[in-house]
Structure 1
């Protein structure tokens, strides 16, 4: 019986994965400071502060895989993002190391590379271009993940989750949408992946306009099925308006927050 620890299990992504990753061959240990309700079959409720290292070491007992979702989940002032997101990620990786847990799936974000233009296809080698302070915290998390893989031998996946929504609601999401079905499938593949060291994978559905390249992890067998183009007519009719950068960047509206630079110069930068 495999035991999977999900941090941030009460969050938007956590609630979907709580249902989607459940099966008869595993126990889900659901961790959050928020109310997680009544545990279902093969569920363990673990109310804890994921920034607290001793609590996290205790939560790792008997765990095979950690799915680390806990974070402040959107663009916000520095004082909101720091130190929370940094402390969360450090505590999870360090607790996993001390407890002997060998595999961590880290929910990074496309916001770590958010200023790359939508018209350009990006792969795992592109320059880190955070869309804001949230994106910086995810880029830092990827660096920490790389350290724990290289120095301590953890097998780590960094999933750059894009627009994880029930359906796409604006023109940018025609490129960046990740359906719930495909998101569950991607995290499942990361949990079950063959032995590995460290990798980055983009969490984007099989959208006609997708501009991400996951060919470097073909062995992961992530085969998304959803296509945002199926919602084009509804988006053209009812789509949410976008700011000057939101419709032109991977990071969308987060790039517009507080922007005072030169749009054309930013979008044309290598």
Structure 2
């Protein structure tokens, strides 16, 4: 363990659950976000039950993150209010978490100091 703090959105999903188990022993702190309530299963896990559309709650949960693996999403075909831009996405607004690296599933840029 020593790869810093990694945040996983959608941690209760099928892929998120597998990633959670894989990262648990590889990182110093594993922050898990989902709107489905989760329980910490290891001493280095921190769980937040949040709706990713709540920018303030997500931003608070991302505090101290070194990397974000964004796997969260709405699992249906309902119309979406998500706005796409070339640099980021967020429901009805665009915000940048303070992280230095990006995941495959994310298009958020690193915050500039």
TM-score, normalised relative to structure 1? 0.34
The match for 2:86 is none
Which digits, 9 at most, give the CA deviation of each residue in 1:19-44, with x for residues without a partner? 01122542110001102124422100
2-side partners of 1:3 and 1:29: how far apart?
7
- Which ranges in structure 2 are unaligned for 5 or more consecutive residues? 84-88
Total equivalences in the alignment: 102
The match for 2:95 is 94
Structure (1/2) with the larger strand percentage:
2
Shift of the alpha carbon at 1:7?
Answer: 0.6
Shift of the alpha carbon at 1:56?
Answer: 1.2
Shift of the alpha carbon at 1:106?
Answer: 4.1
Aligned to 1:29, the other structure's residue is in SS state: strand
1-side partners of 2:5 and 2:101: how far apart?
12
Shift of the alpha carbon at 1:81?
Answer: 4.5
- Distance change in 2, residues 1:90/1:20 (3 Å): same
Aligned to 2:64, the other structure's residue is in SS state: coil
2-side partners of 1:38 and 1:44: how far apart?
6
1:2-81 matches, cutoff 5 A: 2-23=4-25, 25-73=27-75, 76=77, 80-81=78-79
Structure (1/2) with the larger helix percentage:
1
2-side partners of 1:22 and 1:5: how far apart?
11
Aligned to 2:43, the other structure's residue is in SS state: coil
- Which ranges in structure 1 are unaligned for 5 or more consecutive residues? 108-140, 156-270
CA contact (8 A) 1:5 1:28 kept: yes
CA contact (8 A) 1:53 1:95 kept: no
Which digits, 9 at most, give the CA deviation of each residue in 1:71-105, with x for residues without a partner? 1246x2xxx1402xx27x426x7241xxx312221
2-side partners of 1:53 and 1:20: how far apart?
27
Which digits, 9 at most, give the CA deviation of each residue in 1:90-142, with x for residues without a partner? 26x7241xxx31222142xxxxxxxxxxxxxxxxxxxxxxxxxxxxxxxxx7x
Moved over 6 A (4+): none
The match for 1:226 is none
Structure number with greater Rg is: 1
Aligned to 1:94, the other structure's residue is in SS state: coil
CA contact (8 A) 1:39 1:45 kept: no
2-side partners of 1:24 and 1:71: how far apart?
25
CA contact (8 A) 1:4 1:27 kept: yes
